[in-house]
Amino acid sequence: YPMIILSGSSMFCFNYLFTYYGMHSVVSGLAAILFSLMVVCNAFFERLFFGRMIEKRIIIATIIGIVGLFLIFFLEIKNQINAEDTFIGIIWLLIAVIISSLGNMTAIVNINRGIPIITANAHAMLWGSIISFLLALILNKPIVFSSDPSYVISLLFLSVAASAITFGCYLMLIKEIGSTRTAYTTLLFPVVALSISTIIGEYAWTIYSFTGVLLILFGTWLALPKKIT
């Protein structure tokens, strides 16, 4: 059970805390690139804790994907590269990445122990919520709730679809293809976001972003196993 608490605190609490601190001074494009490093962190921690070999194909795919992300957010990053507080934001985000990666390792332990994914996910989210609430009290942060329909609907979507269901699927992927390959999905998040922005007419594609997406998709193909057992 302690591993469940560690899983909840790392995957559903502290990683978000440090991410929010980092996002105050880092543009979203740079944050996406930093979070893509979780692939490398997962590969390293799997080697450290479980003795699994680091596949060269995964590292190559990650490098290709990171280059793709850089091309997508080239202009956004270029506009902030000289900001004085960028370095502090990067440190916060790197801490968040490491914590998230360690959370993935706790998930592997829980899976290896035969704990059902739904059970592990539900209990981890519960502990993450409890610890987050205690942190809010300790940091003297306001506890607010709005009865506005848009707020309630957004909260329900975030808690059910974007958290319970999404993380359940994420843990299932870890079980099937390993945490290193699963972490590669972090490189696909910006691609999905850009696709939605394109549909609603809020994003204009450039040669940089188009090339970046192609590199990410190629990296995804390279990273995934050719056979899933």
Instruction: Tell me the C-alpha distance between 40 and 54, whole Å.
Output: 9
pLDDT at 202 over 80: no
In three-state form (DSSP H/G/I as H, E/B as E, the rest C), the secondary structure along 167-218 is HHHHHHHHHHHCHHHHHCHHHHHHHHHHHHHHHCCCCCCCHHHHHHHHHHHH
Closest among 19, 54, 157, 187 to 10, alpha carbons compared: 19
Residue 75 tokens read as: 């202009």
Closest among 130, 125, 194 to 166, alpha carbons compared: 125
Instruction: Tell me the C-alpha distance between 174 and 182, whole Å.
Output: 6
pLDDT at position 81 is: 58
pTM for the structure as a whole: 0.89
pLDDT tens-digit map of 65-99: 999 999 998 888 777 655 677 888 999 999 999 99
Instruction: Tell me the C-alpha distance between 99 and 93, whole Å.
Output: 10
Confidence band (pLDDT; 50, 70, 90) for 173? very high
To which H or E segment does residue 38 belong? helix 38-50
Structure-derived torsion over alpha carbons of residues 199, 204, 207, 211, reported in degrees to the nearest 10? -40
pLDDT at position 195 is: 87
pLDDT tens-digit map of 103-148: 999 999 999 999 999 999 999 999 999 999 999 999 999 988 999 9
- 60 φ, ψ to 5°? -65, -45
Instruction: Tell me the C-alpha distance between 222 and 60, whole Å.
Output: 8
Instruction: Tell me the C-alpha distance between 33 and 66, whole Å.
Output: 6
- 80 φ, ψ to 5°? -115, -5
Instruction: Tell me the C-alpha distance between 74 and 69, whole Å.
Output: 8
Give the CA angle between residues 79, 81, 85 to the nearest 5°. Answer: 115
pLDDT at 229 over 90: no
pLDDT at 197 over 90: no
Residue 100 tokens read as: 């998230």
What number is the average pLDDT over the span 43-68?
A: 93
Q: What is the DSSP letter of 52?
A: P
pLDDT at 204 over 90: no
Q: What is the DSSP letter of 226?
A: S
pLDDT at position 133 is: 96
Percent pLDDT > 90 in the chain is 67
Residues composing the chain: 229
Instruction: Tell me the C-alpha distance between 170 and 172, whole Å.
Output: 5
